[in-house]
């Protein structure tokens, strides 16, 4: 097993000036499961391909353990990659697909068979070893691709959106299998996804990228509780954090008809007359129907989920601008569409960001 380090790694595609990955600096511990997440075009797959040796590195370095692998060919890096589209050989059986890399490497047949059977047992594929890929479901094919990586016993697993071809229910069960499998094997894993729920539920740490730049790398809990900037705040969490630009006033910020106390140091660090306050949907208190406190939200849609419900509504914040907001309420006390809710952010559960720079101001 091994650590992985991106040391200011940069990739600039020919014919462009803007880097696809710009000075990426991450150290991944031995046995850690790190998830790279971000919107399309943010550089996450390029970063993974740089680590795999499938993309050139135009600046900086990449290390696996003590070795500088920046310019090594993929075959010499001791990594195994699992792709989005499985990449199985259709004319080979499951067993032959899983053992193919070992066969090419000249490993004895008996040893290949043993390793394939061991991997099949871990992945619940023992009954399918004689089948061809076309006779398998999507989830089974993805497990075969995982098995092919496992039998090689690499130092690092690389996974590029391996679940995006699966249906919603299968994705949930397969991501649980992958996470528990990685814990059991203890192999350092770098996993790319655009799905932030996947990132938050699977990774030991999560790295958020935007436009080739690393925004934040932290544990899922810390990233949820203390997003470093407006982009991370809006990207991490489902439904997303509510972000509202509000004026600074004595003792806090003006939120509708209420003054919400926020960290004084955050307000003193602000360079604008307003700050952007972030509130998670679950961190609003709903005032009584006859109250005029807080912000009046007109209910547009209610998404009932059983124990909870999410209210999607609009409110006038600062002048005549209407702002979309999401509020979590009890599933037993759901407001009518078209009604008005008065909401107040819960004390101590607000996040304060600079309106101009987007950087976090509050502790």
**Which tens digits make up the pLDDT trace of 329-361?**
988 888 888 888 888 888 888 899 998 899 998
**Which tens digits make up the pLDDT trace of 266-324?**
777 777 788 899 999 999 988 766 667 788 899 999 999 888 999 999 988 765 678 89
Calculate the dihedral angle through the C-alpha atoms of 39, 42, 43, 48, rounding to the nearest 10 degrees.
-20
**Residue 169 — very low, low, confident or very high, per pLDDT cuts 50/70/90?**
confident
Query: Global pTM?
Result: 0.89
Percent of the chain with pLDDT over 70: 98
Instruction: Please give the average per-residue pLDDT across 6-20, as a whole number.
Output: 94
- Structural domains in the chain plus CATH codes: 4-231 (3.40.50.300), 241-354 (2.40.50.140)
**Which tens digits make up the pLDDT trace of 33-54?**
999 999 999 999 999 999 999 9
């Amino acid at each position: 097993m091994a650590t992985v380090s991106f040391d200011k790694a940069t990739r600039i595609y020919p014919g462009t000036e803007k880097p696809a990955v710009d000075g990426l600096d991450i150290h991944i511990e031995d046995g850690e499961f790190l998830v790279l997440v971000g919107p399309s075009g943010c550089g996450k797959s390029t970063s993974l391909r740089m680590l795999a040796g499938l993309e050139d590195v135009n600046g900086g370095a990449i290390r696996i353990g003590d070795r500088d692998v920046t310019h090594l060919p993929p075959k010499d890096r001791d990594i195994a990659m699992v792709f989005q589209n499985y990449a199985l050989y259709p004319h080979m059986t499951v067993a032959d697909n899983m053992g193919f890399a070992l066969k090419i490497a000249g490993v004895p047949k008996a040893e290949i068979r043993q390793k394939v059977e061991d991997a099949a047992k871990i992945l619940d594929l023992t009954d399918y070893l004689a089948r061809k890929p076309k006779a398998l479901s999507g989830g089974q094919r993805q497990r075969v691709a995982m098995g092919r990586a496992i039998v090689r016993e690499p130092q690092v697993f690389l996974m590029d959106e391996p679940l995006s071809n699966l249906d919603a229910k299968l994705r949930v069960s397969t991501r649980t299998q992958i996470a528990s499998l990685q814990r059991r094997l203890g192999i350092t894993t770098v996993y790319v996804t655009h799905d932030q729920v996947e990132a938050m539920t699977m990774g030991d740490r999560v790295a958020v990228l935007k436009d080739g730049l690393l925004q934040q790398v932290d544990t899922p809990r810390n990233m949820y509780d203390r997003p470093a900037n407006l982009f991370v705040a809006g990207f991490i969490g489902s439904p997303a954090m509510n972000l509202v630009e509000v004026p600074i006033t004595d003792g806090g910020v003006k939120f509708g008809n209420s003054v919400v106390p926020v960290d004084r140091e955050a307000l003193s660090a602000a360079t604008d007359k307003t700050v952007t306050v972030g509130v998670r949907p679950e961190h609003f208190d709903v005032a009584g129907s006859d109250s005029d406190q807080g912000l009046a939200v007109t209910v547009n849609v209610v998404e009932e989920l059983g124990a909870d419900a999410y209210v999607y509504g609009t409110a006038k914040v600062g002048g005549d601008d209407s702002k979309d907001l999401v509020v979590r309420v009890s599933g037993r006390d759901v407001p009518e569409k078209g009604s008005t809710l008065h909401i107040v952010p819960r004390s101590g559960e607000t996040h304060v960001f600079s309106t101009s720079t987007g950087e976090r101001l509050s502790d």
